[in-house]
Structure 1
Amino acid sequence: MAEFDKPLCEEDQFDSFYSANVKALRNYIYYKFGDAEQADDVVQESFIKLWKNCAKVTLDTAKGFLFKVAINLSTSLKRSEKVHLKYTERAVKSDRDEESPEFIILEKEFMEKLTNAIAELPEKQREVFLMNRVEKKTYKEIAEISGVSVKAIEKSMHKALLKLRDKIGEV
């Protein structure tokens, strides 16, 4: 039996596989979905699922299995968050009864435009924009996470801001 055809059930082999892939999987999920804590949880759950299925998964197919599980878990979590956000929005909306209907409509339209504009950004620009504006990370921190220069992050952010301004206008 070739090395790559062996199941991962031997602890040493699983540990080696874990060490070789944990950082790449965590970074991939973090960059794709933008939530560090969620990325850590998803990575942990993915490796647990891999361990539970170690007899069925060979070393050759383990990485694909692992990433597929992580993407599926992240997608499910995002779907759940959207449902939660929808109900939270309804609760907030009921608290805003004292605001004028025009203001509420304008705010809703603006938020839709902003959300759509952010979603339409290229993936790298969206990641940089959200890490900086939502997670309050500095360009230096984003550069370290992304493995690129601060200058590259500045350029990505500049391009993202220009595209957002074009889509929604100056505020």
Structure 2
Amino acid sequence: MSSWNTQIARLFAEQKKALEAFVTRRTGSAQVAADLTQESFLRLARLESGEKIDNLPAFLFTIASNLVRDHQRQAIRRERVEAGERSDELPCSSPSAVDQLSALQEQRLMHDAIAALPEATRNIFLLYHVDECSYREIGERLAISPRSVEYQLRRALIDCRAFIQARLANDKRGARP
């Protein structure tokens, strides 16, 4: 048996009962305590044997304490869900109507911004972002350098951002009474 395994086995023999009692006091359940004690030793055993731990028993109790805390959080979450409370962690099966409308408006705005680009810049933008061509591939298709492709893409992003900002500014001014 390696020295790390020997240390873990010795620690198990010396600390198992004390650790289980510690976890039982914090959780109020002997069954949960047995499970969390076992998990604590497993996590400690999974560590690389080369890691230097000055005080193995203290480290083991820290692992157990963290597991107890996680267990209690999960129990609280389960109680809330079972009680019917809304949880931010539960995924919604479909986006709300507001989210769908917002996404559609953003898509239209981006489409308009791309359509407003000069034709050559728009073609490069679409080749890169839609067709997923590399700078080199775009350069070869259009007989320009990859550096020119990079410049045109940067220009397209700047122009799209300016278009969107101007449109949003106009929409805000139009919304005022």
Q: Please classify the TM superposition score into its range, dividing by the shorter chain length.
A: 0.3 to 0.5
Q: TM-score, normalised by structure 1?
A: 0.44
- Compare CA radii of gyration and give the structure with the larger one: 2
**Which one has more relative contact order, counting CA pairs under 8 Å at least 6 apart?**
1
